[in-house]
Amino acid sequence: MLQVIYVTRHGFRSNWLVDPSSGTYTAFIKSPTGGAADPALTAHGVDQANELAVRLLAADPPIERVYSSLYYRCLQTVEPFVRQAQEATAGDKPALRIRGETGLGEWYGSADFEHPVPASLEKLDSLFPGLLDLSYEPAVTPNRMGESIDALHDRVAAALEVLIAQCDRDGVRAILLCSHAAVIIALGRVLTGHRPTAVETPDFKCFTCGLSLYRRRQSSEVEAGGNNSRAKQTAAEHDANVQGQDSLASEFRGDRGLPGGWDCELNSDCAHLSLGEERGWAFSGDESFKDMAAGQSMLNTTTTGLGVAVDDKSRFSGRHAEDGRGKL
């Protein structure tokens, strides 16, 4: 049965521009995949990924499975850990590979145009040979027209239910998830059941290459094997946009959380990073492209555009504001 979920955000990356009136994405630095909204890590981001790998290799319990967004920056972030883990276990058991999960993909606000998607598995396999599990089928697909904040939480809840059920079924004890800022915040909320009434209330942190740890609460109601059929149904309903009046994620409020309930023991801890906490982020409301002025260009950074920068640690004063000094 799954006991521990480790979560990390991709490392420091380059930026892109988007014109919300036309849906045109552009970038100054070309991505290896050719997608303007699919940048690679900067040199500093690569350093962060290498520092993260050292810590992940010492994780206890050890990481048995890796799920990641299929955007280049996320795969690049977990690559050093997975490569070293493959070398350490060569011949002893099946090689660790990344399961590309679109349910962990980037969040784009609601729009009148289609947002970008990650590169194809074939393209990514050529860029990261031997790294991806090509047989894995993602649990959830985000809406190409973007998502409201409630829809984002729904998507994350649906994806996590499937992932947890898979791991319960397979006897996996600990996994690593690599994703993006908004997804990581939503993930903490649906796992723990602690979702603030005001979406912009700071709670879960998401620094670049920070590490969070969620531990499953002990409960007699949790049975090994998980409710895989319900998880698949939830994901199927999400992909078909069959949603009722209430948000799926609203089921997990009130401290209950996803199957078994989860407690946050590390909140984007950056003790392993030589430069510490960088590029914090938080929601600033319902970030919809439809609300932006015609012709306005948006630079996707942590200080403008969707969301707000929260590198000021004083913003994190709520119940989840652990100081991040815990050890794995």
* pTM of the predicted model as reported, rounded to 2 decimal places: 0.85
Among 80-84, 147-151, 236-240, the range of highest mean pLDDT: 80-84
Q: Strands 4-9 and 174-179, how do they pair?
A: parallel
Question: Distance between CA 326 and CA 324 in Å, rounded?
Answer: 6
Question: 201-236 b/e with 16+ CB inside 10 Å = b?
Answer: ebbbbbbbbbbbbbebeeeeebeeebbeeebbebbe
For residue 190, the surrounding DSSP H or E stretch is helix 181-192
Lowest pLDDT segment from 94-108, 218-232, 310-324? 310-324
Q: Which tokens is 239 given?
A: 């992909």
Paired strand residues for 281: 309
Question: Distance between CA 292 and CA 290 in Å, rounded?
Answer: 6
Evaluate if residue 129 carries a pLDDT over 50.
Answer: yes
Paired strand residues for 212: 7
Evaluate if residue 309 carries a pLDDT over 70.
Answer: no
pLDDT, tens only, 51-104: 999 999 999 999 999 999 999 999 999 999 999 999 998 777 788 999 999 999
Question: Distance between CA 100 and CA 152 in Å, rounded?
Answer: 18
Long-range contacts of range 24-27, CB-CB < 8 Å, 24 or more positions apart?
Answer: 25/116
Q: Strands 24-26 and 17-19, how do they pair?
A: antiparallel
Supply the pLDDT for residue 218.
81
pLDDT, tens only, 276-298: 999 999 988 666 777 654 444 44
Q: Which tokens is 21 given?
A: 């009136």
Q: What is the mean pLDDT of residues 116-144?
A: 97
Supply the pLDDT for residue 233.
55
Evaluate if residue 320 carries a pLDDT over 80.
Answer: no
